[in-house]
Amino acid sequence: MAKNKNIKKPRLRDTSHIQIKEEPPDHGKLNPIFSFYHMRYGTTYCLSKCCPADKSDLATLLLRLSQRTWNDISSTYRKSFGFEHIPIKQFNATVFPDIVTPDVKTLLVFSYSHGGRMAGIQQKDVFHILLTGDDLYPHK
């Protein structure tokens, strides 16, 4: 067997002068990711206060929504799998998590079960669930 003492390792070239422009992702083409991180446990509008049937219906809704893209969800009728924008001033809750900054004027609201609502904020492809329940705001 020959010994390969004369073979040199290739040197990596300095590529700092090459700039690769990355296209920003189109979040509308992505499926939603759901987060309960900002929900305050044990408060009036927490998932922990929902009855078992509502928890089950909400889990089913989340599963079904996670199989669709944001573009598909946005174009769906609000009573089906779509959402509606509700102004923050209409909510019965008076205290919101820090993610609700003064520039946020509305929350996205999805319906589940008979009268149950899930309200939150979409950031890119993540939907932060903030409030759940059937009395989040006065229904028309």
What torsion, rounded to 10 degrees, do the Cα atoms 111, 61, 121, 50 define?
70
Which of 85, 95, 73, 74 lies closest to 117 in space, CA to CA? 85
C-alpha torsion angle, residues 10, 14, 18, 22 (rounded to 10): 80
Strand partners for 133: 117
DSSP 125: T
pTM of the entire predicted model: 0.79
Task: Round to whole Å and give the CA distance between 131 and 117.
Answer: 8
pLDDT tens, residue order, the chain (140 aa): 556 667 777 776 666 666 666 777 888 899 999 999 999 999 999 999 999 999 999 999 999 999 999 999 988 876 666 799 999 999 999 889 999 999 999 999 999 888 899 999 999 999 999 999 999 999 76
For residues 77 and 116, give the distance between their C-alpha atoms in angstroms, rounded to a whole number.
16
